Amino acid sequence: MIRFDTPGDVVAALADLPAPDARAIAAAQDRQAQLTKPAGSLGRLEEVALFLAGWQGRDRPRLDRGRVAIFAGNHGIAARGVSAFPPAVTAQMVANFEAGGAAINALARAAGLELRIVAIDLDRPTGDIAEAPAMSEAECLDALNLGAASVEAGLDLILPGEMGIGNSTPAAALCAASFGGDASDWAGPGTGVAGAALAAKRVLIDRALDQHGGDCVSAFETLRRLGGREIAAMAGAMLAARHARVPVLLDGFIACSALAPLARWQPRIVDHCLAGHVSAEPGHQRLLRHLGLAPLLALGLRLGEGSGAAVAAGIVRAALAAHDGMATFAEAGVSGA
Ligand SMILES: Cc1cc2ncn([C@H]3O[C@H](COP(=O)(O)O)[C@@H](O)[C@H]3O)c2cc1C
Ligand SMILES: O=C(O)c1cccnc1
C-alpha cells in the first residue's frame, strides 16, 4: 500500500500514475458492441461500464465491494462563524454516523455500499487558514496516510466523503489557489451562509489566499496550508486508489476540492475518477469544468458526507447490470444492423 513519509512521496505518487487496463477496456467494448441494442444507445451507461472495466481490469466489472469512507475534521477558521452551524456539530454528526442516523447511512444502505467513518483529531482544530497554515507537515502526512489506509486493492469502488463544519471555506481556498480566481468565484453558502456572513466568509478566503498563495508551490503545500485533515485524507484516498487501481466515485464540492491541488500539478489524476453529481454549491460546477469531469447526476444536493456519490452508485449499478446481464445479438437471435 502507498505511504506518504515525506512531501516528496506525494510528488512521486503523482509522477508515476498507473493507466487503466487497455485489454479489459477492449474486451468490454467488444461485448458492448454485441449486446442487443443499437450501438451507443445506452449513452453514458456504456462509458461507465468501460471505465470500471479499465480500472478493475475485468471484462465484466462488478460492484460487490463498494465503500464510502467518510473523513471528519475540524477547522480553526470555523471559530470565525464561516458556517451556519457551530463546530461542535462535526463530532455530533460523527456520533450520528456511528449510530446509523445520518443521510449517508440511509443512502449507503440503499446503494449496497459499506460505510467507514474516520474521525481525525476532532478535539484539535486545524490552524486558522486566514492567519496560519492549516497543518504542520507531520499532520498533513498523517491525514494523507489515514486516507490511503482506507483503500485496498480489490475494492470495486471507493466513495470518499467528508464532515467538517466550516470546510466549504478551505475548499474554496484550495480551488482558487489551484485554478485561479478569488473568493467571489469559489465561495458559496455551504450549510446556508448568506448576506453579510457570506461577504465576511469571502473576505477571510481572500485573506487566506493573500497569506499563503505565494507558498502554494506544490500539491502538498497547497493541501497543508489551505486544506484540512479530512480534505487531505480524501486526497490520500484518491491517490492510493489510483495506485491500487480502484475507481473513485466523487461526491460534491468539498470532496472534489481535495482533487484540485493534485490536478493542478498532474491533470491525469482525474482519470480514475467519475463525478457522481454536481452539487448546488455554485463552485462545484466550475470545479468540475476545471477538472474536465461531467457529473452523472444534478439533483440539487448540497450535503457532502459522500451522499451524492452514494446516490450515483445506483447509476453505476445500472450500467454494470446492463453490461453483464444483457443478451448478445447471437444469443437472442436478434438481427444486427
Ligand atoms: C447537520 C449537518 C450535517 C452535515 N453533513 C454534511 N455537512 C456539510 O456541511 C459542512 C460544510 O458547510 P459549511 O462550510 O457551511 O460548514 C460540512 O461538514 C459538510 O460535510 C453537514 C452540515 C450540517 C450542519
Ligand atoms: O457539495 C458539497 O460537497 C457540499 C455543499 C454544501 C455543504 N456541504 C457540502
Nearest to 162, CA basis, from 241, 237, 223, 106 = 237
**Interval 57-91: pLDDT, tens:** 999 999 999 999 999 999 999 999 999 999 999 99
Q: Give distance in angstroms: CA of 313 to centre of ligand 2.
A: 18
Mean pLDDT of 278-286: 98
Mean pLDDT of 312-324: 98
- Ligand sitting nearest the alpha carbon of 70: 1
Please give the pLDDT value at position 60.
98
Contact 213, 177 (CB under 8 A): yes
Residue 44 lies in a domain: no
Which ipTM did the prediction report?
Answer: 0.99
Which atom of ligand 1 has the smallest separation from the CA of 190?
Answer: 15
**Interval 223-256: pLDDT, tens:** 999 999 999 999 999 999 999 999 999 999 999 9
Does the beta carbon of 169 sit less than 6 angstroms from any atom of ligand 2?
A: no
Confidence of residue 55 (pLDDT cuts 50, 70, 90): very high
Residue 337 lies in a domain: no
Whether residue 1 is predicted with pLDDT greater than 90 in this model: the reply is no
pTM greater than 0.95 (yes/no)? yes
Mean pLDDT of 108-124: 98
- Ligand sitting nearest the alpha carbon of 302: 2
Nearest to 142, CA basis, from 226, 44, 230, 208 = 230
Q: Give distance in angstroms: CA of 167 to centre of ligand 2.
A: 9
Q: Which residue has the cell 462488478?
A: 62
Does the beta carbon of 190 sit less than 6 angstroms from any atom of ligand 2?
A: yes
Contact 105, 94 (CB under 8 A): no
Catalytic-role residue among 221, 230, 281, 305: 305
Please give the pLDDT value at position 218.
98
Which residue out of 89, 165, 253, 288 has the highest number of ligand 2 atoms within 8 Å of its CB and is therefore the one to mutate? 253
Residue 115 lies in a domain: yes
Please give the pLDDT value at position 290.
98
Which residue range is the domain that position 210 belongs to? 63-318
Q: Give distance in angstroms: CA of 251 to centre of ligand 1.
A: 13
Whether residue 100 is predicted with pLDDT greater than 90 in this model: the reply is yes
How many domains, in total, are found in the chain? Answer: 1
Does the beta carbon of 254 sit less than 6 angstroms from any atom of ligand 2?
A: yes
Classify residue 196 by burial, with Cβ atoms within 10 Å: 0-12, 13-18, 19+: exposed
Q: Give distance in angstroms: CA of 6 to centre of ligand 1.
A: 31
Which atom of ligand 1 has the smallest separation from the CA of 90?
Answer: 18
Mean pLDDT of 97-107: 99
Residue 208 lies in a domain: yes
Residue type, 292: G
Counting residues of the chain whose pLDDT is more than 90, the rounded percentage is 99
CATH of the domain at 305: 3.40.50.10210
C-alpha 103/C-alpha 99 separation (Å) is 12
Residue 32 lies in a domain: no
Residue 313 lies in a domain: yes
- Ligand sitting nearest the alpha carbon of 122: 1
Nearest to 81, CA basis, from 224, 190, 228, 208 = 190
Please give the pLDDT value at position 334.
98
Whether residue 21 is predicted with pLDDT greater than 90 in this model: the reply is yes
Q: Give distance in angstroms: CA of 307 to centre of ligand 2.
A: 10
Whether residue 168 is predicted with pLDDT greater than 90 in this model: the reply is yes
Look up 230 and say whether it is catalytic.
no
Across the chain, mean pLDDT equals 98
Contact 242, 18 (CB under 8 A): yes
Residue 57 lies in a domain: no
Contact 33, 61 (CB under 8 A): no
Q: Give distance in angstroms: CA of 36 to centre of ligand 2.
A: 40
Cα→Cα distances 97→74, 90, 112, Å: 16, 11, 16
Crossing angle, helix 229-244 and helix 137-148, to 10 degrees?
Answer: 50
Residue type, 3: R
Within 6 A (CB) of ligand 1 lie 83-85, 89, 93, 162-169, 190-191, 193, 254, 303-305
The 3-state secondary structure of the chain, one letter per residue:
CCCCCCHHHHHHHHHCCCCCCHHHHHHHHHHHHHECCCCCCCHHHHHHHHHHHHHHCCCCCCCCCEEEEEEECCCHHHHHCCCCCCCHHHHHHHHHHHHCCCHHHHHHHHHCCEEEEEECCCCCCCCCCCCCCCCCHHHHHHHHHHHHCCCCECECEEEEEEECCCCHHHHHHHHHHHHCCCHHHHCCCCCCCCHHHHHHHHHHHHHHHHHHHHHCCCHHHHHHHHCCHHHHHHHHHHHHHHHHCCCEEECCHHHHHCHHHHHHHCHHHHHHEEECECCCCHHHHHHHHHHCCCCCECCCCCCCCCHHHHHHHHHHHHHHHHHHHCCEHHHHCCCCC
Greatest extent of the chain over all pairs of C-alpha atoms, in Å:
69
Residue 136 lies in a domain: yes
Record the cell numbers describing residue 333, joined without a space: 437471435
Which residue out of 163, 281, 284 has the highest number of ligand 2 atoms within 8 Å of its CB and is therefore the one to mutate? 281
Which residue out of 70, 165, 302 has the highest number of ligand 1 atoms within 8 Å of its CB and is therefore the one to mutate? 165
